[in-house]
Amino acid sequence: MTKFTEKQQAFIDSKAAGATHRDAAIAAGYTMASANVRASELMRRPDIKTAIKAAGVTITPDKHAMPRKHYADALQFMVDTMNSPQMPVAMRFEAAKALLPYQHARLGEKGKKETAKDRAREIVGKPKFAPKGAPPQLRIVE
């Protein structure tokens, strides 16, 4: 029997569970950009085809089930995918990467006009002739 790498075995498991070629490659840890090519290369190998047929009976299709059946919001779907321990790490990483712009702003996102407005607000907040410290204490002198 042929020894498979960790990614190849994950691909075999996902294919046996009923995933498409591309989805199985992504679940195995291949990048989204190269998933179609890698899946095609793996499916051309006869030893992988026989391993998929042999594993088809033992693997359950609900291995990567989501907690909800229906999502009204795509953002919530991505959050659940990222937090699901049943999902492969590569899939969770891709979900986390896709969620970043929605949860954290980039540091250099301000334009010239926004920077100028912020600077103007800082200047306006400090009046030019404002007293520098606390006002003097008034006392009655006898």
Does 42 lie in the same domain as 78? no
Does 82 lie in the same domain as 34? no
Residue 78 one-letter amino acid: M
Does 57 lie in the same domain as 17? yes
95 within a domain of the structure (yes/no): yes
Does 26 lie in the same domain as 5? yes
Q: What is the pLDDT of residue 94?
A: 87
Does 39 lie in the same domain as 13? yes
- Which residues constitute the domain of residue 102? 65-108
Q: What is the pLDDT of residue 110?
A: 75
Q: Compute the distance between CA of residue 37 and CA of residue 35 in angstroms, rounded to an integer.
A: 6
Residue indicated by tokens 């907040």: 125
Does 57 lie in the same domain as 70? no
Torsion of CA 25, 31, 32, 34, to 10 degrees: -80
Q: Helix-strand-coil percent breakdown of the chain, rounded to 5?
A: 55, 0, 45
Q: What is the pLDDT of residue 80?
A: 86
Q: What is the pTM of this model?
A: 0.41
**Which residues of the chain are modeled with pLDDT < 70?**
1, 56-67, 107-108, 126-128, 130-131
Does 54 lie in the same domain as 25? yes
Instruction: Provide Rg for the chain, Cα atoms.
Output: 29
